[in-house]
Amino acid sequence: MSEHESTYVPKTGVEKWLDTRLPIIRFGADYMSLPTPRNLNYWWTFGGILALCLMTQIVTGIVLAMHYTPNVDLAFASVERIMRDVNGGWLIRYVHANGASMFFIAVYLHMLRGLYYGSYKAPREMIWIIGCVIFFLMIATAFLGYVLPWGQMSFWGAEVITNLIGAIPVLGEPILIWLRGGPAIDNATLNRFFSLHYLLPFAILGCVVLHLWALHAAGQNNPVGILIPKDRAKKDMLPFHPYFTVKDGFAIILFLILFAIFVFYQPNALGHADNYIPANPLQTPAHIVPEWYMLPFYAILRAVPDKFGGVVAMFGAIGVLFVLPWLDTSKVRSMRYRPTMRTFFIIFLVVGVGLGWCGGQLPDAPVIGSFKTFTLIDGDLNSYLWLTRVFTLYYFAFFLIIMPLIGLKEQPLPIPATISEPVLTGADAVEQKG
Amino acid sequence: MAESVVHTQDTHSPEGGDPNRRDFIHIAAGAAAVGAGVMIAWPLINQMNPAADTLALASIEFDLTKVQEGQQVVIKWQGKPVFVRYRTPAELQRVIADDNASDLKEPQTDAERTKPGHEKYLVVVGSCTHLGCVPTFGAGDYGGWFCPCHGSHYDASGRIRKGPAPLNLVVPDYEFASDTRVKIG
């Protein structure tokens, strides 16, 4: 917390000399001794995992850039050269490609943890908002990176996504040409996408510094969701190091096992086979799908019959997260003590996964069996189109209607005064039953 | 520093009196800084617009004898596919009959989309007006094209008939250099 006093004592002469000129060791030491609520569970380990993911992507990315050629005639071959000829290139590329997926697995769990335990509520709004900025930058970076191998999915993904901007009334077309650097996706586009793909991770890094700064100022949330009273700080808090560095370390090991399973045994499971066909501007693949982590938003895009409306809905789905702290009217942070809200949260999880599933299907395909029911407006009721629309409706209703309303109406369970209380008096059993 | 603050308070009342010379200098300096910022930003933004060599590829010529009746040839123009289609009399009859069909989202007659005397040739940009996929020749419900991405159906005049695409396939600027040659762009 911000009021925690510095306990660092410079020992050697060099440290003393440095401490009066650039107290960087003090800064690091203070950050490592940050008082941390002792009841943090494993859902709190994804912050450290995400830091590792970002560093992995930056390091492998810089190495890959030493061998990659951002030119429409050479890009695909240069990636194949990395895979076949560059020493250990296959490993570095597979780590980078699967690393993006791992990054998104971790960020989604990290965000859902924040959502469940109310980590976005006062006084932590800025941590959440900066986190949303990071998420948005991650999506942009991942999209730009997926274009670089210049396979069929790269090219047509870029075509479809940049066309979304063309949907903006009046200004869409000039902006589209400006963004692509020509009338179509071509060398100019690939070149600038490479430049921006190299840039954005450092923008993310800068936002991560702000994210941690805000976290340092407001202090960590915890599974009980209460602000820890000052007089309890000694009893209910532990220094971040070694207690939570060790806990995070263990979680990182488990996460790296999952990461390694993909890299070494299923390196292409999360990709698409069509991206091993060189880009062909004259032929569209039969079924264009984005990477799995974009599927829910892609589904929302397709749920709206109007082209521009779809774009607005897709960006709105991310935009709504930014104002989340002001949409939630409940004073109680943790959903442990909000049984009604927890039910809606679980439905939200199912809907989120459902949207991802729908995003990977053809909109006209039937959901159950292969029969037709009846046509509602512009599609058969037994189609992914309508399932997607139902899910999309819930997605927005969850944030815009359910969250403000439940906060006002619900009767939360009694909230413990300290984070030790549920453990010591056994009131935690309430959660087990609930 | 403290002196200048005192000095500012002396000459400029916090309640907001008339703007004095110092205010004018502040506003003018601020405006100049903003102007300079825009002037610096513009070349950095404008460099992303199409370069001269990209714009120089703006037109191509095509020999129409390469297209057989009932078929199309796909050529690349400005990085985009262009369909040159030699339509059969039956196809022509069908699209002209549909000129006033009620399901046209962007009503256009076939004559508006072709050159007089050369109606059998249709030249359109082969990018679906929805999200830019290349529609498949000879598929779909209207004898024209079908876009595999999101299911838009076009007729043999390239007009959108069904599906999410909002507009007809774009007819590029082109002219007949001779009876068998077109210049696109």
- For the segment A245-267, the average pLDDT, to the nearest whole number, is 97
The answer to whether residue A115 is domain-embedded is: yes
How many CB pairs below 8 A link A and B?
A: 73
Asked if residue A3 has pLDDT above 60, the reply is no
Q: Of A163, A183, A192, which is closest to B79 when you measure between CB atoms?
A: A183
* Cis bond upstream, residue A416 (ω within 30): no
A101-117: average pLDDT: 98
Among B161, B143, B137, residue whose Cα is nearest residue B92: B143
Taking the C-alpha atoms of residue A343 and residue A152, their distance in angstroms, rounded to an integer, is 42
Comparing CA positions, the residue from A253, A295, A264 lying closest to residue A45 is A253
Strands annotated E in A314-421 = 375-376, 379-380
Q: Does residue A425 have a pLDDT over 90?
A: no
The answer to whether residue A160 sits within a structural domain is yes
Does the residue A63 lie in any domain?
yes
Question: Measured between CB atoms, which of B45, B134, B148 is closest to A282?
Answer: B134
Calculate mean pLDDT across residues A348-371: 88
- Counting the structural domains of chain A, the total is 2
Which residue numbers of B have CB closer than 8 Å to A's CBs?
A: 45, 48-51, 54, 74, 76, 78-81, 126, 130-134, 147-151, 164, 166
What's the average model confidence in pLDDT over B57-79? 88
Whether the CB of A164 is below 8 Å from some CB of chain B: the reply is yes
pLDDT classification of B17: cutoffs 50, 70, 90: low
* Same domain assignment for residues A277 and A330: no
Q: Are residues A227 and A373 in the same domain?
A: no
Residue A1 lies in a domain: no
Are A279 and A316 in a shared domain? no
Report the pLDDT value the prediction gives residue A404, as an integer from 0 to 100: 96
Confidence label for B166 from pLDDT (cuts 50, 70 and 90): confident
pLDDT digits (tens, 9 = 90+) for B95-128: 999 888 888 888 999 999 999 988 899 999 999 9
Contacts of A177 in chain B (CB under 8 A): 49-50
Phi, psi of A198 (to 5 degrees): -75, -35
Interchain contact, B80 vs A286, CB within 8 Å: no
> Is there a single domain that holds both residue A284 and residue A367?
no
Residue A331 sits at the chain B interface (C-beta within 8 Å) = no
CA distance B164 to chain A (A): 7
Instruction: Say whether the peptide bond before residue A339 is cis (omega within 30 degrees of 0).
Output: no
Query: What values do phi and psi take at B82, rounded to 5?
Result: -120, 130
Provide, as residue numbers in chain B, all residues whose Cβ is less than 8 Å from the Cβ of A286: 148
Which positions in chain A touch B151 (Cβ < 8 Å)?
A: 363-364
Q: Do A284 and B149 touch (CB under 8 A)?
A: yes
Tens of pLDDT, residues A369-413? 777 777 777 778 888 889 999 999 999 999 999 999 999 999 999
Q: Is residue A426 part of a domain?
A: no
Amino acid at A236: D
Are A160 and B166 inside 8 Å of each other by CB?
no
Residue B105: per-residue pLDDT: 86
> Treating both helix axes as pointing N-terminal to C-terminal, what angle do A152-166 and A172-180 enclose, rounded to 10 degrees?
150
Determine the average pLDDT of the residues in B37-55: 91
Of residues A375 and B50, more confidence is placed in B50
Residues A382 and A402 reside in one and the same domain: yes
CB contact under 8 Å between B80 and A281, yes or no, is: yes
Which of B78, B126, B149 is opposite residue A288, by nearest beta carbon? B149
- Chain A residues with CB under 8 Å of B79 CB are 182-186, 281
Q: For residues A267 and A91, give the distance between their C-alpha atoms in angstroms, rounded to a whole number.
A: 10
The tally of CA atoms less than 13 A away on the side-chain side of residue A352 is 16
A338–chain B Cβ distance below 8 A for any pair: no
Q: Which of A270, A288, A306 is the last residue of a domain?
A: A288
A272 known ligand binder: no
Pick the last residue of a domain from A244, A262, A288: A288
Residue A211 marked ligand-binding: yes
Residue A1 has pLDDT above 90, yes or no: no
Report the distance separating Cα A344 and Cα A166, nearest Å: 36
Give the β-pairing of A237-239 and B60-63: unpaired
What would the mean pLDDT of B43-49 be, rounded to a whole number? 93
Instruction: Output the pLDDT for position B2.
Output: 46
Work out the angle between the directed axes of helices A307-322 and A295-303 (0-180°, nearest 10): 130
Distance CA B169, CA B166 (A): 10
Residue A4 lies in a domain: no
Told to judge if B7 belongs to the known catalytic residues of this protein, a careful annotator would answer: no
Q: Chain B closest CA to A178's CA: distance in Å? A: 4
Contacts of A284 in chain B (CB under 8 A): 133-134, 147-149
- Say yes or no for a CB contact (<8 Å) between B132 and A163: yes
User: What pLDDT was estimated at residue A285?
Assistant: 87
Asked if A323 and A282 sit in the same domain, the reply is: no
B44 Cβ neighbours under 8 A, 6+ residues apart: none
Residues in chain B: 185
Does residue A319 carry a pLDDT above 50? yes
Task: Give me the residue from B80, B149, B150 closest to A183, CB to CB.
Answer: B80
Whether the per-residue pLDDT at A120 is higher than 70: the answer is: yes
Side chain identity at residue B179, one-letter code: D
> Under an 8 A CB cutoff, do B149 and A181 touch?
no
| Shortest alpha-carbon distance between residue B166 and chain A (Å) | 8
CATH of residue A77's domain is 1.20.810.10
Residues A243 and A170 in one domain: yes
pLDDT at A434 over 50: no
The answer to whether residue A163 neighbours chain B at the CB level (below 8 Å) is yes
CA distance B122 to B172: 11
When pLDDT is cut at 50, 70 and 90, the band that residue A362 belongs to is confident
Mean per-residue pLDDT for A269-290? 91
Q: What is the mean pLDDT of residues B122-145?
A: 89
Asked whether residue A287 is marked as a ligand-binding residue, the answer is no
Same domain, A276 and A231: yes
Contacts of B131 (CB under 8 A, 6+ apart): A159, A160, A163, A164, A307, B149, B150
C-alpha span between A370 and B176 (Å, rounded) = 50
For residue A192, give how far its alpha carbon lies from the nearest alpha carbon of chain B (Å).
8
Which of A85-89, A194-198, B145-149 is the least confident region? B145-149
Contact status, residue B59 vs residue B105, Cβ threshold 8 Å: no
Pick the residue with more confidence: B11 or B139? B139
pLDDT at B141: 86
Instruction: Report yes or no on A360 lying in a domain.
Output: yes
Q: Of A263, A404, A336, A367, which Cα lies nearest the Cα of A117?
A: A336
Q: Do A181 and B76 touch (CB under 8 A)?
A: no
Contacts of B148 in chain A (CB under 8 A): 284-287
Cβ-based contacts of B126 with chain A (< 8 Å): 282
Could you tell me the pLDDT band of residue A426, with boundaries at 50, 70 and 90? Answer: low
Question: What does pLDDT average to over chain A?
Answer: 92
- A281 in B contact zone (CB under 8 Å): yes
Instruction: State the burial class of residue A358 (Cβ atoms within 10 Å of its Cβ: 0-12, 13-18, 19+).
Output: buried
Long-range pairs for A133-139: beta carbons < 8 A, 24 or more residues apart: A133/A207, A134/A107, A134/A204, A134/A207, A134/A208, A134/A211, A135/A107, A135/A111, A135/A318, A135/A321, A136/A318, A137/A200, A137/A203, A137/A204, A137/A207, A138/A103, A138/A104, A138/A107, A138/A204, A139/A293, A139/A294, A139/A297, A139/A318
Beta strands in A88-205 (DSSP E): none
Percent of chain A with pLDDT over 90: 77
- Average pLDDT over every residue of A1-28: 87
pLDDT at B14 over 70: no
Residues of chain A found within 8 Å of residue B134, distances taken between Cβ atoms: 282-284
- Most B CBs within 10 Å, among A187, A280, A307, A364, to test the B interface: A307
Q: What confidence tier does A97 reach under pLDDT thresholds 50, 70, 90?
A: very high
What pLDDT is attached to residue B130? Answer: 84
Same domain, A211 and A326: no
Which residues of chain B have a CB within 8 Å of the CB of A185? 79
Share of chain A above pLDDT 70, in %: 97
The reply to whether residue B78 touches residue A182, judged by beta carbons under 8 angstroms, is yes
Q: Which domain holds residue A381?
A: 295-414
DSSP letter, residue A381: S
CB-closest option in A163, A282, A284 to B148:
A284
Classify residue A179: in a domain, yes or no: yes
Chain centroid to Cα A277, Å, comes to 29
Q: pTM (2 decimals)?
A: 0.89
Question: What mean pLDDT is predicted for residues A84-106?
Answer: 97
Same domain, A239 and A310: no
Clarify whether residues A269 and A337 are in a common domain. no
Q: Is the model's pLDDT at A433 over the cut of 50? A: no
Least Cα separation, residue A23 to chain B (angstroms): 27
Residue of B149, B153, B170 to mutate when probing chain A, most A C-beta within 10 A? B149
Q: Are A45 and A159 part of one and the same domain?
A: yes
Residue of B nearest to A379 (CA): B163
